[in-house]
Amino acid sequence: MPRQRFSAVLRGYRGQAARDKFIQHLQGLGTQGDNIGTKGNRPPSIDLYIEPFALPLGTNTLVKVSALRPSWDLLKGGSEVSSRVKTVLSGSEVSIKLSRYSAARVVRRQTTGTTGTAKTSKLTGLKYLHYNTETASVPFGKKTGDLGAFAVFQEISTQNEGSSTNLKYTFIDENV
């Protein structure tokens, strides 16, 4: 079962006032604040083509997936990523879109600063720590001889780590 972000508030663990304010938000009676929708449009996506780890496909058949253009531009430079993802199909290759499939992904998080900034939630009125984090993620597939998705992720994260202590890589396994 997925984690619910405000489950402690709904159970009343954070106080009745916070619970009432959050319920008003759910009912459409509360205000969300001034900065809703101020970050601009979502960046464009790019179509990518991969060979999945867990699904044996026919020869020259790839699965069509996507990533946000800024994420792809940030992570495509590593050979471990670019050798497992195609941006253009060759003449003999075909792509398919699988409705319930999600590719294995590498997620790159870079935090600026070591401590959070205290902010107040506009939904509940409670204080929380906000961390300035930039996130990018791209899908990746297998190539001949790969051991598995996690082993490939380890190669990708090792290749891209660098010297920053505020840079972390996370693995999301493919879902078939």
pLDDT tens readout for residues 32-87? 555 566 677 888 999 999 999 888 888 889 999 999 999 998 888 877 788 888 99
Measured CA to CA, the distance from residue 107 to residue 111 in angstroms comes to 13
DSSP 76: T
Confidence of residue 25 (pLDDT cuts 50, 70, 90): confident
144 and 74, same structural domain? yes
Confidence of residue 131 (pLDDT cuts 50, 70, 90): confident
60 and 10, same structural domain? no
What pLDDT score does 66 carry? 93
**Whether the Cβ atoms of residue 135 and residue 108 lie closer than 8 Å to each other:** yes
129 and 164, same structural domain? yes
Quote the mean pLDDT of the chain: 80
What pLDDT score does 163 carry? 54
What pLDDT score does 1 carry? 41
What pLDDT score does 32 carry? 57
Q: Which residues form the domain of 109?
A: 33-172
73 and 9, same structural domain? no
What pLDDT score does 45 carry? 93
92 and 22, same structural domain? no
75 and 21, same structural domain? no
**Whether the Cβ atoms of residue 103 and residue 63 lie closer than 8 Å to each other:** yes
Determine the average pLDDT of the residues in 126-136.
84
In 10 A of CB 23, how many CB atoms? Answer: 14
89 and 138, same structural domain? yes
The token duo for 29 is 């009676």
Confidence of residue 169 (pLDDT cuts 50, 70, 90): confident
57 and 7, same structural domain? no
164 and 98, same structural domain? yes
